[in-house]
Chain A
Amino acid sequence: MAKLVGGVDELGRPIVRVDVPGHDGFLAVVDTGFNGSLMLQRSEATTQGFLGNKRLAVVELGTTAQVVVEKATGSISWLGRELRVEALISNQPAPIQRPDTARALIGTELLADCLLLVDFATRVVEIETQA
């Protein structure tokens, strides 16, 4: 079984690092209210080699507001294997420029067949395959 270990950041968010073949990778918040795979800011998507191709979609936020995002395809290293994934790309400006801050979301589509453990007390996050 493969396991990915992350932590709970100073803002109380479960965070893991996502590796991207040939790129630096990025920090992402594990968002169990997101039923897609990945969401990235445009600048992060470009840096990580995610290719958008003029495909648009409407998604619904927790406020029930609907927003338009672009869709892109890219590769990540995920739990021991390389995976082609769909990513939603936000055209909103990234308000936080610190390099150590998560600017992406991981959704439940990537967590299918996994056990997700978030221990807020010890600030540990674990994602483990269940095969």
Chain B
Amino acid sequence: MTEADLEQARALSASAAEQGQLWIARKSAEIEALPTGTVVIIDVATGEYVTGKTWLEANPIFDERFGSNTLGFVHRVRSPTFIGGGIGIG
């Protein structure tokens, strides 16, 4: 992948992730009612979602229901992912 390809991928990803976060916020009442750590994968285009205890469980369900080429946004209920010591202010 060239730097231009990566830049394009980053722009598309940022836009899709933003849409995913909007869906998560809009459906927060039902999603936050799920057990802590539940993996939610939401169809960025429609807001429909699947859940699983882990990524390895939820992702094949999403593939089967919406197709492997469908953009999905992944959210873990009350369990953010930190890299390099994130402290969870946000």
Q: Are A and B associated in one complex?
A: yes
A interface residues, Cβ below 8 angstroms from B: 31, 33-36, 39, 42-43, 53-62, 64, 66, 68, 70-71, 73, 84-86, 88, 91-93, 105, 107
A53 and B68 form a contact (CB under 8 A): yes
Number of interface residues of B (CB under 8 A): 38
Residue of B13, B54, B83, B88 near A68 (CB, 8 A) is B13
**Could you say which residues of chain B place their CB within 8 Å of the CB of A54?**
68-72
Residue of A39, A61, A71 near B55 (CB, 8 A) is A71
Nearest Cβ on chain B to A47's Cβ, whole angstroms:
12
- Looking across the interface, which residue of chain A has its beta carbon closest to that of B8? A91
Let me know if B87 is at the binding interface, CB within 8 A: yes
A56 and B83 form a contact (CB under 8 A): no
**Could you say which residues of chain B place their CB within 8 Å of the CB of A35?**
81-82
**Could you say which residues of chain B place their CB within 8 Å of the CB of A33?**
82-86
Let me know if B80 is at the binding interface, CB within 8 A: yes
**Could you say which residues of chain A place their CB within 8 Å of the CB of B84?**
31, 33-34, 61-62
A36 and B70 form a contact (CB under 8 A): no
**Could you say which residues of chain B place their CB within 8 Å of the CB of A39?**
83
A sample of 23 inter-chain contacts (CB < 8 A) reads A31-B83, A33-B85, A33-B86, A35-B81, A39-B83, A43-B1, A53-B63, A54-B71, A55-B74, A56-B16, A56-B17, A58-B21, A59-B80, A61-B82, A61-B84, A62-B85, A64-B89, A68-B14, A71-B55, A73-B55, A73-B59, A86-B55, A88-B81
**Could you say which residues of chain A place their CB within 8 Å of the CB of B21?**
58
